[in-house]
Structure 1
Amino acid sequence: MTPRSTEDRLVGRSVARREDPRLLTGRGRFVDDIALPGMLHAQFVRSTVAHAEVTAVDLSAVRQVPGVVAAFTAADLGLGDITARLDRPLTEFVPTAMPVLARDRVRYVGEPLAIVVARDAYAAEDGLEAAKVSYAPLAPVTCEDEALAEGAPLLHDAAPRNTLVDVSLFASEGIDAVFAAAPCVVHVDSRTGRQNALPLETRGTVAHWDDREEQLVLETCTQVPHQVRTVAARCLGLDERAVRVRVPDMGGGFGLKCVVGREEIAAAAAALRLRRPVKWIEDRKDALTASFLAREQHYDVRAAFDAEGRILGLDADVVCDMGAYSCYPFTAGIEPLMASAEMPGVYKVPAYRVRGRAITTNKAPTAPYRGVSRPQYVMVVERLFERAARELGLDPVEIRRRNVITDFPYTGVNGITYDPGSYREALDLCERTVREEGWYEKQAAAAAEGRHLGIGYSCFSERTGYGSTAFAQRKMEVVPGFDLSEVRMDTSGAVTVTTGTMSHGQSHETTMAQIVADELGLPLAKVKLHQGDTDRITYGWGTFASRSITVGGSAVRLAAAELGKKLRRIAAARWGVAPEETECGEGCVRRRDEPAVSLSYEQLAEIAYLKAHLLPKDIAPGLTGTAAFDVFNDGTFSNATHACVVELHEGTGQVEILRYLCVEDCGVAINPQVVEGQCRGGIAQGIAGALFEQVTYDAQGEPSATGFMDYKVPTAHEIPDVAIHHLETPCAFTETGAKGAGEGGTIGAPAAVLNAVNDALRTTGVELDHTPITPEAVHNALRRQRTLEHTR
């Protein structure tokens, strides 16, 4: 097949997003837009205490509330549990069953106990007020120290010291001697705040029974429709064929929606019982307090360096507070396993030891929020390099330059093989840009005026395109990885593409179409993507871990190539030549030796569908290409360097970001503008974690942030313009040369911001290692400096 010329290719061009005309004119269709005849509305009776035995749930008064149609407990609906497992011994992993509706015990404020179904949303809320739940309170466990304390109350009897995961994946021989002999040993003790992924669209579902198809249909905003189907079928005792999951337009997910939630299963059970459509839309209070959370982690890490600033060893202890339960299918291991496996990152670390633990506390459970531990461990490792540079008298960029991986493929001490990237090149370009823009001179001038400017960097890689092999190495019982695609042409020569990935803002309708259009030589308008329907798509793992273009896009390209082969076979048979003597392009198949001789796709489709008697006996009617794709190596690695310039304001402790730069390499960028959108959105979320967002709890396990007055979300005023520079190291392991780009912005931003803040504090004697960085911490550090100056 002859590809389009470079000038005509769609891949690599910032073509306009095909989704935008629909979404920007209010013609998108989201879960809350769905209205079915006879539809009822559901809300959940939720626990008001963090830890207790449930002695009674009385819904009798609820059922008397005007407008309430029904109210159910787990016993009423016969609901089972959602259980996610790792194939590890109990010394390393303790499985925990998460009931769809809590029965005899509650483990966090907001845990669902019962579902109330009413004629409208207001009556459902009124019904909640009439519910009476009796508790026998238990002592809550609200932090790491309480969870791991001797004799602490146990959330799950099978989990000693409230530990769900305890793994030591790597322990290089002789590492203690390495640290004992090292000229420079630095230490960072860092904690990161618990966050909410905060998609614009909260979770929700509309469930109804289809008598004709004998199917329970769930229309829900999920990143993993096939996994929702599997769990719903199991919990409700149905064949998987009897459950269909469809995903309409979705307003963000960020990992929060790549796990199976309890509420959508309970709403489906109510619809099945009542044989009427049931809608549940999560309100913002529940989204902030009772939905899946992430990021509350503690790192105690040492690094050894030689006198020239080359790293000799890394020794880490990681504790991740995963809340009350394991999520499905990733389990509570998702954060500590990610941190343990990938912490060496872009640096040549010769010796490594790590212990990773997941603890359970009386908080909402954790899902794999965008970046999954990488923003945290990158921040810690980058702090180690900053600290070592200071102690050794080295430039902080130079010490990184001496340690980044430059020879590829590179197999790290963690056993992971990194494919070629531009780690050194990205660092050099980022620093050069900062210098050319004059920020070091501006910093010196500000210091002379008594102002506090800081410049911070972060270097990192983003492992993308995790295949089945990579997930199997984590010993997941449910092993994600592959993706399937079908490309089908109709009689007009237009094609329909299916993918098992699921867009929640990543522009799949555009980028997947670019891939197919280039492969077949079609106009972009001739390609339509279908996603998020378990009846139309054979199987799929959905969207997470930056896998959509790397894995899903590769499957789409292969399926388009298979369709192209069939088109060529039909044309070749008509001409009496071998298929190898033909090529696809510009909406037709033509002969290589006589390009003027061609058959349009419409003509070939007419033969394939309407004149099948003209087909050779070895060619079946129809025009369909199918393919599967998996990654059997260690994945693909995008990389980037970020730089951040901040000014600290003494009076308020405010951190103002003056400049933000990103030099990224995601291989072949299918659509550069889409990549830049991913970078900017990710950086905004990374800045949010560095400076603003945190879910906190009081001593009784009550969440403090129930609205945006308490949960500090940055606005456009706090997020700077981001300058993005692209490098391109094509990937050898994907069909398009692309690597993932979905999480990199979030991964690099906290480290860059924290390093910039510490650079601005360099004369105060204070270093900050925790996020979010509070105005109080900055104000106190600057005030300390003023106090010291006045006492001299």
Structure 2
Amino acid sequence: MTRQESGRPLVGRSVPRREDRRLVSGRGRFVDDIALPGMLHAQFVRSTVAHGEIMSMDLSAVRRVPGVVAAFTADDLAIGDITAQLARPQSQFVPTAMPVLARDKVRYVGEPLAIVVGLDAYAAEDGLEAAHVEYAPLPPVLGEETALADDAVLVHDEAARNTLVDVSLFATDGIDDIFDAAHRVVEVDVTTGRQNALPLETRGVVAHWDDREEQLLLQTCTQVPHQVRTVASRCLRLDERAVRVVVPDMGGGFGQKCVVGREEIAAAAAALRLGRPVKWIEDRKDALSASFLAREQHYRARAAFDTDGRILALDADVVCDMGAYSCYPFTAGIEPLMASAEMPGVYKVPAYRVRGRAITTNKAPTAPYRGVSRPQYVMVVERLFERAARELGLDPVEIRRRNVITDFPYTGVNDITYDPGSYLESLNLCERVVRDEGWYDTRTAAAAEGRHIGIGYACFSERTGYGSSAFAQRKMQVVPGFDISEVRMDTSGAVTVTTGTMSHGQSHETTMAQIVADALGLDIARVRLHQGDTDRVTYGWGTFASRSITVGGSAVRLAAERLGDKLRAIAAALWDTEPEQVELAGGHVRRRGGDSARDVLTHQEIADVAYLRADLLPKDIEPGLTATATFDVFNDGTFSNATHGVVVELHQDTGQVEMLRYVCVEDCGVAIHPQVVEGQCRGGIAQGIAGALYEEVTYDAAGEPSATSFMDYKVPTAQEIPEVSIHHLETPCAFTATGAKGAGEGGTIGAPAAVLNAVNDALRPTGTELDHTPITPQTVHRALNPEPVP
């Protein structure tokens, strides 16, 4: 039922999703669905060694393969490099150029060296087999120990000890004295495995030159179309006007597609060189092993507590393995800077010190992945509280109660101001649900039977809607933040809205339309969203960091309100009254207090005047019905929060971790579409469980990635993911135009910590505690079945 039919606002209601009819009926249009006349297909010759100098590359046999049209090296195409920068001194940040195609040196298995273009995808693949590349191998750098050694081989000559970022922050005066005097100090040493964001749709692009427009058109699945346009124009030495990026339907991104890739630029260069459309679709092997990865981190952390279990100080050393290059635009600083700035989270930490480092290794480079370090540092802090609770003899939930932030706004030791949230309320409700469902009694009964059931919690906040000021604090030279929206009504009274954010499954076509329809008093069916087209959308930073509704939705709301003001002004002029006496409701423009037909105008009647009878407009009202607005978050962002509760059973014979119950209590402010929020929670929790129990990319001694298929990269199915019980709290945000906070990453952030805590609770009788994810059946089996001491 629409607003026009019910008279109720659309925001806050789970109206039918507008995308579903097209997508479930097979009418979605993805990159691989695009077919253009004369289109060629591309694949990439990729490095087979992790580290080495390129001595020679012979593509002559490639060009003779039937169906191969061309093969190009970096020298053939003369493309510029992709370089991301931080405005920090050399001691804190070392920039590294990422060549679109490797020239003199390779730095990971799978790095692209040359592009092969064929009449079809099979011919291009056949051509790859004929490439002959000779290397002078160098010892691969494959982890923290070898990267930071005094005599380490360097991945980049300019990066001493293979360190790209080294920043020490928030060193509270006297922190060492606090630790020395504390009643109890607990420590953890936590590591997390390297992961792949694994969107259902792999990366891809169709590039071709439009002679009529004198423009290169890139149709690609990216979260950041305007950034792709900027980088492509610079690498290809074109005016930015001469590059148009259009994003069709997109099957997931999760952050992997919010950076600019190399292959898309190379395919565009090949299309320009050949004068024909070129398509590249990443195959699953390359997607698993050579695409942007994430999450490989190491935390050494300690916390000081008083006798009542209140935290006194937090001290951490963070090392993030970022792979071979910095990503654009976020750089290698994306993970250590996130962790360093936000680690105190929901807790009142009086003293704090952190060192964050990004190291470079001979692995595929790292991009942001849903949550960006927050799943890791939340796990670290929650482990510290669990350990402190055990050593102090306190209940794990009670020690959290004594430390969560309850007075807002709250400015933390990390110089971040937290807007109001429901930290304590979510914690209490989550525990009450788990307790009322009888899981504590079940755990006690299971222990008497020799079974191993554990309960774990994670209490956290999700910083969302980062504005320009927040990104500027990281010293980024490319500073994301604002969004621009245009709302336009045509002569039929229908509305088109643009947003600089980009949907890859979050239901923007529905939620943005809800916001506009409410602001204009329209039927939602009369609102249409345009996104992902750099010629139709003025500018935008795309979708990442849970910014779409907080920032993009706020710009949409403000633009719609401005258009509403113009509608009221025109109607007021026609009625010879004041705009304040006009309201937009029920699909019409109405004079307040009037009850006759003369007191009602349709949107179409107003539009007719605005466009077709401009002679009726007062001189101070311009013809047309268009409004534009920008929105930025100038405070420290908005903070959604949640508590996750997990119940697991460990099976002694197999080491299997069985998920018995999952409870999520979340607060993302005003939920524009509650069902969409729940979908975000469930999807994020599934990815968080995947990182906690299943997914990891490892490397052998030569730097060859282990997980090149789903036989090796263990992705959970619906069989492994439990039903999730979701409970909503609502603390409206004062800093967004809709009262909404972000909801895109919270599920992923809380799940690893909650699962790990539950597993450790189940292991308590064994005296073993685990501090690494993913938790494998082998690890659990060893803990439950220790070998007897001889």
TM over 0.5: yes
Q: Structure 2: how far apart are the matches of 1:390 and 1:151?
A: 41
SS at match of 1:626: strand
Q: Structure 2: how far apart are the matches of 1:622 and 1:110?
A: 53
Q: After superposition, where does 1:338-737 map in structure 2 within 5 Å?
A: 338-594=338-594, 596=596, 597-737=599-739
Whether the 8 Å contact between 2:4 and 2:587 is mirrored in structure 1 is: no
1:192 aligns with 2:192: yes
> Which letter does structure 1 place at the counterpart of 2:566?
K
Note the alpha carbon deviations across 1:691-728, whole angstroms, 9 max, x for none: 00000001111101110000010011100000000000
SS at match of 1:99: coil
> Which letter does structure 1 place at the counterpart of 2:429?
L
Quote how far apart the aligned CAs of 1:587 are: 2.1
Q: Structure 2: how far apart are the matches of 1:465 and 1:144?
A: 32
Note the alpha carbon deviations across 1:39-96, whole angstroms, 9 max, x for none: 0000000000000011111111111111111110111111110000000000000000
> Which letter does structure 2 place at the counterpart of 1:613?
D
Note the alpha carbon deviations across 1:622-663, whole angstroms, 9 max, x for none: 111110000000000000000000000011100000000000
Note the alpha carbon deviations across 1:495-531, whole angstroms, 9 max, x for none: 0010000000000000000000111111110111000
Point out the more displaced range, 576-585 or 682-691.
576-585
Q: Structure 2: how far apart are the matches of 1:159 and 1:465?
A: 33
SS at match of 1:643: strand
Q: Aligned pair in 2 of structure 1 residues 443, 242: CA closer, same or farther (>3 Å)?
A: same
> Which letter does structure 2 place at the counterpart of 1:8?
R
Whether the 8 Å contact between 2:4 and 2:523 is mirrored in structure 1 is: no
Q: Structure 1: how far apart are the matches of 2:16 and 2:375?
A: 31
> Which letter does structure 2 place at the counterpart of 1:720?
P
Quote how far apart the aligned CAs of 1:594 are: 2.2
Q: Structure 1: how far apart are the matches of 2:624 and 2:134?
A: 63
Residue 746 of structure 1 corresponds to 748
Q: After superposition, where does 1:90-129 map in structure 2 within 5 Å?
A: 90-129=90-129
SS at match of 2:686: helix
Q: Structure 1: how far apart are the matches of 2:218 and 2:26?
A: 23
State how many pairs are aligned: 786
Quote how far apart the aligned CAs of 1:6 are: 9.9
Q: Which runs of 5+ in 1 are unaligned?
A: none
Quote how far apart the aligned CAs of 1:5 are: 12
Point out the more displaced range, 531-540 or 588-597.
588-597
Q: Structure 1: how far apart are the matches of 2:223 and 2:309?
A: 43
> Which letter does structure 1 place at the counterpart of 2:258?
C
Q: Structure 2: how far apart are the matches of 1:4 and 1:551?
A: 27
Q: TM-score, normalised by structure 2?
A: 0.99
Residue 218 of structure 1 corresponds to 218
Q: Aligned pair in 2 of structure 1 residues 111, 64: CA closer, same or farther (>3 Å)?
A: same
Residue 300 of structure 1 corresponds to 300
> Which letter does structure 2 place at the counterpart of 1:669?
A
SS at match of 1:660: strand
Q: Structure 2: how far apart are the matches of 1:629 and 1:142?
A: 43
Point out the more displaced range, 541-550 or 604-613.
604-613
> Which letter does structure 1 place at the counterpart of 2:773?
T
Residue 762 of structure 1 corresponds to 764
SS at match of 1:97: coil
Q: Aligned pair in 2 of structure 1 residues 5, 751: CA closer, same or farther (>3 Å)?
A: farther
> Which letter does structure 1 place at the counterpart of 2:603?
Y
Q: Structure 1: how far apart are the matches of 2:126 and 2:642?
A: 51
> Which letter does structure 1 place at the counterpart of 2:447?
A
SS at match of 2:764: coil
Residue 141 of structure 2 corresponds to 141
1:50 aligns with 2:50: yes
SS at match of 2:666: strand
Note the alpha carbon deviations across 1:199-220, whole angstroms, 9 max, x for none: 0000000000000000000000
Whether the 8 Å contact between 2:203 and 2:221 is mirrored in structure 1 is: yes
Whether the 8 Å contact between 1:4 and 1:518 is mirrored in structure 2 is: no
> Which letter does structure 2 place at the counterpart of 1:54?
I
SS at match of 2:22: helix
Quote how far apart the aligned CAs of 1:580 are: 2.0
Residue 233 of structure 1 corresponds to 233
Whether the 8 Å contact between 2:72 and 2:115 is mirrored in structure 1 is: yes
> Which letter does structure 2 place at the counterpart of 1:649?
H
Quote how far apart the aligned CAs of 1:618 are: 2.2
Q: Which runs of 5+ in 2 are unaligned?
A: none
1:267 aligns with 2:267: yes
1:330 aligns with 2:330: yes
Q: Structure 1: how far apart are the matches of 2:228 and 2:374?
A: 26
Quote how far apart the aligned CAs of 1:595 are: 5.1
Whether the 8 Å contact between 1:256 and 1:368 is mirrored in structure 2 is: yes
SS at match of 1:279: strand
Q: 4+ runs of 1 displaced by more than 3 Å?
A: 3-7
> Which letter does structure 1 place at the counterpart of 2:215?
Q
Q: Structure 2: how far apart are the matches of 1:720 and 1:332?
A: 35
Point out the more displaced range, 698-707 or 594-603.
594-603
Whether the 8 Å contact between 2:7 and 2:586 is mirrored in structure 1 is: no
Q: Structure 1: how far apart are the matches of 2:145 and 2:567?
A: 65
Whether the 8 Å contact between 1:409 and 1:417 is mirrored in structure 2 is: yes
> Which letter does structure 2 place at the counterpart of 1:727?
L
> Which letter does structure 2 place at the counterpart of 1:382?
E
Q: Structure 1: how far apart are the matches of 2:744 and 2:108?
A: 31
Residue 66 of structure 1 corresponds to 66
Q: Structure 2: how far apart are the matches of 1:238 and 1:414?
A: 43
Q: Structure 2: how far apart are the matches of 1:439 and 1:6?
A: 42
> Which letter does structure 2 place at the counterpart of 1:399?
I
> Which letter does structure 2 place at the counterpart of 1:482?
F
Residue 783 of structure 1 corresponds to 785
Q: Structure 1: how far apart are the matches of 2:312 and 2:349?
A: 6
Q: Structure 2: how far apart are the matches of 1:4 and 1:670?
A: 18
Whether the 8 Å contact between 1:421 and 1:665 is mirrored in structure 2 is: yes
Quote how far apart the aligned CAs of 1:610 are: 1.5
Residue 774 of structure 1 corresponds to 776
Q: Structure 2: how far apart are the matches of 1:772 and 1:580?
A: 60
Point out the more displaced range, 738-747 or 559-568.
559-568
Q: Structure 1: how far apart are the matches of 2:5 and 2:475?
A: 45
Quote how far apart the aligned CAs of 1:581 are: 2.0
Q: Aligned pair in 2 of structure 1 residues 6, 149: CA closer, same or farther (>3 Å)?
A: farther
> Which letter does structure 2 place at the counterpart of 1:468?
S
Whether the 8 Å contact between 2:465 and 2:741 is mirrored in structure 1 is: yes
Residue 178 of structure 1 corresponds to 178
Quote how far apart the aligned CAs of 1:98 are: 0.1
Residue 89 of structure 1 corresponds to 89
Q: Structure 2: how far apart are the matches of 1:99 and 1:623?
A: 46
Note the alpha carbon deviations across 1:476-509, whole angstroms, 9 max, x for none: 0000000000011011111001000000000000
Whether the 8 Å contact between 1:52 and 1:138 is mirrored in structure 2 is: yes
SS at match of 2:539: coil
> Which letter does structure 2 place at the counterpart of 1:750?
P
